[in-house]
Structure 1
Amino acid sequence: MDSTIILITGANTGLGLETVKALFESSKSYTILLGCRSMDKADAAVQQLQAEFPNSATVVAPVQVDIEDDQSIEKAFDHVADQYGRVDVLINNAGGQFDPQMYSGELTMREMWNKSWNVNTTGTQILTHTFVPLLLKSADPRLLFITSGASALTESENLTIRLSQSPVKGWPKTSRAISAYRSSKTGMNMLMREWTRILREDGVKTWCVSPGFLATGLGGNPERNKQLGAIDPAIGANFVRAVVEGGRDEDVGKAIRWDGVQPW
């Protein structure tokens, strides 16, 4: 198989799906493995893409994978190893912002914090660890972690940024925070640094990619995100594609934005 093989998790909606579309729009051809927890939703996304890009040389195939389920990850690995033999690019896109579910009463604080880290950090680590043997069979292996601008420790001191501003004194606080999401993405940044160290001699290029504040369903309300200034997800998706295609190879091992390197 000559085309670049890309596995992207959480790819049936939001930034993941937009990234797949951006890859379809590239002048290059790819074999895209569209990862999703639900095979039905993965199949539906594949059908949508095939209808939207009927003449593309890029092909897409569904892969069932739930990064909270070790058995699912192992089955996905066995399937990809058997059918494709390698992975050239692994995009760890699957993630979630669960803080709102605590405020709505759907999750307790402990459940919400544990789920945030289980999805955004632990599950991402386990999937990456599982698929590294297939990455190492690539001639140009690339490993991407989708992070957030909200994860930057340095910018938590910048009071011109809304997320860094303090609520009024007193208790309880009436303003709502996304502390678990921010913390788990900061943890992912360190996770990427560890994989950079571990795989440096193997020639694997790694990044955390910060796509910007996007009008997706992250956090459960894309319309509210738009009102807060979120941008078109296609913009973030084009950035991810640029990294896949070598546009930021000088920034390997960093958390990167369109306009440069994101501070730690």
Structure 2
Amino acid sequence: MASNEILLVTGGNTGLGFETVKSLCQSEKAYTILLGGRSLEKANAAVENVRVDFPQSASTVKAIQVDIEDDDSISRAYEQVDSEYGRLDILINNAGVQVDQQVLGGKMTMRQAWNKSWDVNTTGTQLMTYTFVPLLLQSANPRIIFIASGTSTLAEQEKETLWVDRPAQKGWPKQPMEMGPGAYRSSKTGMNMMMREWARILKADGVKVWAVSPGMLATGLGGNPELLKKMGALDPQVGADIIRDVVEGGRDHEIGKVIRKDNVQPW
């Protein structure tokens, strides 16, 4: 049985999830990190990359297959963690999608895009969390982290600070950019309430729950990292370091909140 804290990151082989694994590997604290991926082959390749980049890391990184759109995959991942470790200390619900642009490109219908957004970002994340709660309750210091979005805040939407919040021009049809990532941001707003529900449900059990809003990052989530950089997106490491700070207790005074780097995101 591992004495290190056992940490599972969904969607850990790419983007923010992968950067989070790398950030944790640079910690002085030793973790057993389970790098989750839909493809075990890709997860194993990511693990090998981490081992090459951080050969002196105090942590151990292992690949695990988990697809949060597949209930059987979630159940198999649970059984594997239960069999090998008997507990889970930290669950980082990182896996997510942003597919609004697929509608504009004619690759998905609007219904498909909205269903996919909610199925992964909200429903799949809910089922992943629900399945792993029994293992989290075996931990002495259980933590659950959800990945929110700066576009999910209702309170700030009307301020029109972000380009996605600015009113569209009169007339129909609207320009593609004016339609914005409605499916993505709505599913993340729903996820914020899901996080609040888990904070309520597990409060008496001593499970600490947060969402992290990492800011606009130059990852493949939006389809084009280089375009995102031109729009001011930050290096994914910035978001990863916020997650690591939450993991290591730096935001324990803000449980149940959506955490930003320097403040708490309004609802």
Q: Same fold (TM over 0.5)?
A: yes
1:203 to 196, 202, 206: 206
Q: Which structure 2 residue ranges, 5 or more long, are not aligned? A: none
CA distance in 2, matches of 1:55, 1:238: 19
Residue 219 in 1 paired to residue 222 in 2?
Answer: yes
CA distance in 2, matches of 1:236, 1:261: 14
Q: Summarize deviations over 1:73-127 as a string: whole Å, max 9, x none.
A: 0000000100111110000000010101111111100000000000000000000
Query: Which residue type is aligned with residue 205 of structure 1?
Result: K
CA distance in 2, matches of 1:56, 1:156: 41
Partner of 1:258: 261
Secondary structure at the counterpart of residue 218 of structure 1: helix
CA distance in 1, matches of 2:184, 2:128: 19
1:236 to 235, 239, 246: 239
Partner of 1:149: 150
* TM superposition shift of 1:53: 1.2
Secondary structure at the counterpart of residue 26 of structure 1: coil
CA distance in 1, matches of 2:25, 2:186: 33
* TM superposition shift of 1:161: 2.4
Q: How many residues align?
A: 264
Partner of 2:166: 165
Partner of 2:125: 124
CA distance in 2, matches of 1:53, 1:212: 26
Task: Give the alignment's TM-score, normalised by structure 1.
Answer: 0.99
Residue 86 in 1 paired to residue 117 in 2?
Answer: no
* TM superposition shift of 1:44: 0.3
CA distance in 2, matches of 1:55, 1:240: 22
* TM superposition shift of 1:160: 3.0
CA distance in 1, matches of 2:209, 2:15: 22
Partner of 2:251: 248
Q: Summarize deviations over 1:122-153 as a string: whole Å, max 9, x none.
A: 00000000000000000000000001000000
Q: Tell which deviates more after alignment, 153-162 or 211-220.
A: 153-162
Which ranges of 4 or more aligned residues in structure 1 deviate by more than 3 Å?
A: none
Is residue 104–residue 176 contact of structure 2 (8 Å, CA) maintained in 1? no
Query: Which residue type is aligned with residue 43 of structure 1?
Result: N
* TM superposition shift of 1:256: 1.0
Partner of 2:20: 19
* TM superposition shift of 1:175: 3.3
CA distance in 1, matches of 2:252, 2:11: 24
Partner of 1:73: 74
Secondary structure at the counterpart of residue 68 of structure 2: coil
Is residue 167–residue 175 contact of structure 1 (8 Å, CA) maintained in 2? no
Secondary structure at the counterpart of residue 63 of structure 2: strand
Secondary structure at the counterpart of residue 60 of structure 1: strand
Is residue 90–residue 142 contact of structure 1 (8 Å, CA) maintained in 2? yes
* TM superposition shift of 1:31: 0.3
Cα RMSD over matched residues?
A: 0.7
Q: Which structure 1 residue ranges, 5 or more long, are not aligned? A: none
